[in-house]
Structure 1
Amino acid sequence: MAKKPTQKPQDESRRRFLKYSGTAIGGVVVGGVIGGIIGSSNQKRGEDAEPGETKTPAAESNRDYNQALMFFNQDQFMITEAASERIFPADENGPGAKELGAAFFIDHQMASAYGMNARDYMMPPFYKAEASQGYQLSFKRRELLALGLDALNEYSSDKYKKTFTKLAPEEQDAVLSDFEKDKVNLKGVPASTFFSLLQSLTIEGVYADPLYGGNKNMAGWKMRNYPGNQMSFYDDIEKEEFIKMEPLSLHDHLELG
């Protein structure tokens, strides 16, 4: 009795069809030039690579993925970086705001709910506030900061014929001082309000947990011998002498856990 011919599974037949017919694009099988190019490319890869070898780009072990812009454009970021460095400059005690990545911290804050004043009452009417009343303007923090950064450039160009980032350090100090003393017209907003916000954000960026973009390598904490976010002080809390600890970030607890 003759045996029936063995039929190959349908999925194997389909794979063979795609393999020898080119490639499927948008549900249409294409041969000719496109199929020839892809087939040639596949053949070349097979000749160059060893069997079982997969070539992948090498990852940089020291790459900091937290240093990425979320709100600023490139010009605004560079102005922020330069201005924050004058507010917290590098000296013999350690790095300044630029090296510590404070500008990235500020950028991330402006992209967050904080920059949008999401938890603040922002409805009119708006009145001129007393100094003791805090922030009372209609501008959101991100709007105020963007307005002030543009004004830094305009004021620098008017006074020195150069943009803020091109000024000498002492000239940058003079410009920032004029903003701090309300010598600049900032379109209805006190220039000192912008300067105060920028100053506060710079200091926060220097000393905040690195998880938020600044305080790179916890160097801001190391300058102050601040221990950061330790899991516990149970073994040391009652000791009389000063104990210097290697600081820990919130991120370190993920690795320790």
Structure 2
Amino acid sequence: MSEKNVPILDKRSSRRTFIKNSGLTVGGVVLGGALGSLLGKDSSTQTQETAVHSEATASNANIALMYFTPDQYRITEAASERIFPKDENGPGAKELLVAYYIDHQLSGAWGMGSKEYSSGPFFPGEATQGYQGRQNRQQIFEIGLKGIEDQSLKTYEKSFIDLSEEEQDAILSEFADGNVKLKGISSAHFFGVLRTATIEGAYADPLYGGNANMEGWKMKNFPGHQMSFVNIIEKEFTKIEPMALNSQHKH
């Protein structure tokens, strides 16, 4: 990750270091709750989803949104690109369709928090306890995205998507540091949720909407979902072209 992206990583870290060191926590292995809402789809739905994703890869104008409004999508796309920007290592969040992934996750159980306890009373939690509020992720994103746009208009008199990269970074830094007042949540918490979802969208199986063309995996030499390693398990290191879940349903 480029060193100018202060909200994302310490300035001492590079995106190359981040990619090398993050393999145990991403890559479609421990993404858990954010992936759950689509696991129940039958093969016909998967085929339809794959077709939409392929079309979306070619042109973001053709994306079929499931939760976001077009404006919310564009803000998410711009913000996630600053969190995971395109550089010499490979594509950024925009080309990986991270915002498309987030849109789909928000439309399901993860977005609605349907598997989480959400009844009161609500009390401020300790830092080690995580989020203790009443808003689900759909509401958190609605509040947070509106906050990004409002802060942009207040600071630069321009929409967030029309800002320069440096100006967008400055806005997101304010959110990451918790300096922007939002209704019901802290800006730092929203930024944390956005950042986590961005990383998930870059590395999750393409079946869920992001990681377009498995480019996120290719940057990490992650093999994806192979049926077997029997033929190479006792051989020298072998570089394998990644396979997505939907590739195993093509009969």
Same fold flag (TM > 0.5): yes
Aligned position for 2:240? 245
* Alpha-carbon distance between aligned partners in 2 of 1:185 and 1:167, rounded to the nearest angstrom: 21
Aligned position for 1:194? 190
* Alpha-carbon distance between aligned partners in 2 of 1:210 and 1:64, rounded to the nearest angstrom: 12
Structure 2 residue identity aligned to 1:127:
F
* Alpha-carbon distance between aligned partners in 1 of 2:228 and 2:75, rounded to the nearest angstrom: 40
Asked if the contact 1:67/1:213 (under 8 Å) is kept, the reply is no
Q: Which consecutive residues of structure 2, in runs of 5 or more, have no partner in the other structure?
A: 1-50
Q: How many percent identity over aligned positions? A: 53
* Alpha-carbon distance between aligned partners in 2 of 1:86 and 1:229, rounded to the nearest angstrom: 29
**From 106, 122, 125, the counterpart of 1:129:** 125
Aligned position for 1:119? 115
SS at match of 1:177: helix
Compute the TM-score of the two structures, normalised by the length of structure 2.
0.75
Task: Tell me the number of residue pairs that the alignment of Structure 1 and Structure 2 aligns.
Answer: 196
Alignment of 1:143-162 (within 5 A): 143-162=139-158
Aligned position for 1:163? 159
SS at match of 1:185: coil
1:117-160 Cα shifts (integer Å, max 9, x gaps): 01000010111111111221100001101110000000010011
Q: Which consecutive residues of structure 1, in runs of 5 or more, have no partner in the other structure?
A: 1-58
Aligned position for 1:142? 138
* Alpha-carbon distance between aligned partners in 1 of 2:184 and 2:137, rounded to the nearest angstrom: 15
Higher relative contact order structure (alpha carbons within 8 Å, sequence separation ≥ 6): 2
C-alpha RMSD of matched pairs (Å): 1.8
SS at match of 2:86: coil
Q: CA deviation at 1:64?
A: 4.5
Q: CA deviation at 1:67?
A: 3.9
Q: CA deviation at 1:236?
A: 2.3
1:71 aligns with 2:56: no
Q: CA deviation at 1:243?
A: 1.7
Compute the TM-score of the two structures, normalised by the length of structure 1.
0.73
- Structure whose CA Rg is larger: 1
**From 106, 111, 116, the counterpart of 1:110:** 106
